[in-house]
Structure 1
């Protein structure tokens, strides 16, 4: 029996699992009876193949199972029932017809072996239960620490966003106010990735579909996309590392912001479509609009004087992605391909 299987058996404490619906003593008696009955069923099958095989050999596995599942009391009761049944129904009748070992000496030896089996199984069960309790305590402490850490991180992001918003409201320079507003959205994108990290419970991974849908909803509100210009998101389910998720979210933030600001100049209606799709060799993020497109001869995606494009390229590189842009009179589409 492997160590992992023994550990699982040791963790399964039936008296505790079934209490208080079933009294602990009743569970222990039931387990002992089942194990003792199992010994006789298996013994009957073995005797049908090899008659007269070792009479007491099957008692010990039953004792071990009973002890692991229902504590030493069940093991002791199993040993008593099985040894008595074997002695009076099988061993003594055989002793009357042929020469066998002294029955008293045999029962004494089997009894000692049974007690040793119970002691070893009970020691193992208690050690596993103690290790399980320690593990559960460590997990509870870790969860408490993560909750406190998440709360502190959330507050820190809120403080940074609040400071940026105060500066944005106080500044009289429209360009500075726009830059501070863009910085606020970048901070919000990172904050949302961290919130999804702790909410999803994936350790160091983020549920990308929920994260991107949440981010698109926030961008729609922040960019005041109402009525004429719409933003929709179509994302496949995936979990990826937090750092990559942050970079993907920042790329999405920049691309959607650029499209909202520049793609629909002179137009009242339009749409921006975000997709996150599985490919044979990885994943693809696409941000497409049906706007006016890029002017001929102008380098694609440099709609904000170059800073946005540099940020997009830096975030894409950090995520390990490759960017490509297609733009014409029917709109602009930017894709970022990421390997597995």
Structure 2
């Protein structure tokens, strides 16, 4: 029934267009409009629809276009061979269109099969990478717990936090509404801040707040931004509230006119301009933060005073 309806629709469209042309050029190209009608009917509704559309177009041309009009008789002897050639041309067109349609369907089926195989491979790859991240994190955590040196344990803890930040970005590649290879920054940063709050024991008096616009970024930029947040929040938790039992750290990722802005601020005791440019105690964290900012395609700016410290990263769109 669908094929019949579509064939009638194509034939009706061709006949209506023929009637419109006859108002300005009566009898011009009597067979021309049948070809596209038969082609469309065959491509979209298979060869039976093409055959029916061709038969209707042929009957219309015979009865309404060839003299004597409104008669099945043929006045000119050359009209019968013309109708025979037209019928043969329709059959060839239907054959070619149906073969093309089948080839396209086979190609689409092959593409779907390859996509299914690729998705299965990606799932397996994701599973293996996730396991590898978990293994590395477990080894770092085990070594950190066994370390007798507080300095070594702190360094291993920082390395563990960096690995976990990358692992979270990887997990966000395979879930949510972001496209392939993209990370939803709102959910990613929210999960990252929750993990940092737990890992740094920011409970009760010291609060870590996180807010982000719903933005999707490529994986590499998201990982770099996550590592920046990891370094800055860890740095603030360790140094901003010395001698205090309370405080607030806020992380904000927002859309800007020329891209995005990441800011990490605290209301701690502040620090000197020299330490802001060289890193607190000239440590590795500051150099890593600047390196991650360059990888993310951003520029880093720091401000500090008695009311706290704010580090802003301007990211170009």
Task: Determine if the TM-score, normalized by the shorter chain, exceeds 0.5.
Answer: yes
Match of 1:246, SS state, is helix
For 1:286 and 1:40, how far apart are their aligned partners in 2? 67
| CA–CA separation in structure 1 for the residues paired with 2:159 and 2:112 | 41
- Alpha-carbon distance in structure 1 between the residues aligned to 2:75 and 2:64: 17
Corresponding residue of 1:268: 245
Please give the per-residue CA displacement for 1:240-279, whole angstroms capped at 9, x wherever unaligned.
3322221111111000011112212222222111112223
User: 149-158 or 80-89, which moves further after superposition?
Assistant: 80-89
Match of 2:2 in 1: 27
Unaligned runs of 5+ in 2: none
CA distance, structure 1, for counterparts of residue 273 and residue 299 of structure 2? 23
Give the aligned CA root-mean-square deviation in angstroms: 2.2
Q: 1:284 to 1:91 in 2, by over 3 A?
A: same
Which residue does the alignment assign to 1:82?
A: 57
Give 1:230 deviation, angstroms.
Answer: 1.5
* Other-structure match for 1:241: 218
In the other structure, the counterpart of 2:92 is 116
TM-score, normalised with respect to structure 1: 0.85
Output aligned runs, 1:187-336, within 5 Å.
187-200=163-176, 202-295=179-272, 298-299=275-276, 302-303=279-280, 306-336=283-313
Cα offset for 1:101? 5.4
Change in Cα spacing, 1:108 to 1:299, as seen in structure 2 (3 Å) is closer
Mapped partners of 2:91, 2:246: distance in 1? 84
Q: Which sits farther off after the overlay, 295-304 or 251-260?
A: 295-304
- What secondary structure is seen at the aligned counterpart in 1 of 2:263? strand
Distance in 2, Cα, partners of 1:69 & 1:298: 70
- State whether residues 248 and 315 of structure 1, in contact with CA within 8 Å, keep that contact through their aligned partners in structure 2: yes
| Residues matched between the structures, number | 315
Distance in 1 between the 2:62 and 2:145 partners?
A: 92
- Cα deviation for residue 299 of structure 1 reads 4.2
Kept in 2, the 8 Å contact 1:31–1:74? The answer is yes
Give matches, 1:176-187, under 5 Å. 176-187=152-163
Deviations 1:197-220 (A, max 9, x none): 232562333222332222112212
Q: Which moved more, 1:136-145 or 1:82-91?
A: 82-91
Greater CA deviation, 98-107 or 221-230?
Answer: 98-107
**Distance (Å, rounded) in 1 between the aligned partners of 2:35 and 2:27:** 18
5+ residue gaps, structure 1: 1-25
Q: Could you say if the C-alpha distance between residues 316 and 244 of structure 1 is closer, same or farther in structure 2, counting changes exceeding 3 Å?
A: same
What is the CA-CA distance between 1:98 and the residue it aligns to? Answer: 9.9
Conserved? CA contact 1:300–1:327, under 8 Å: no
Give, in whole Å, the separation in 1 of the partners of 2:29 and 2:263. 72
Indicate the SS of the match to 2:250: strand
Residues 92 and 103 of structure 1 are in contact (CA less than 8 Å); yes or no, is this contact kept in structure 2? no
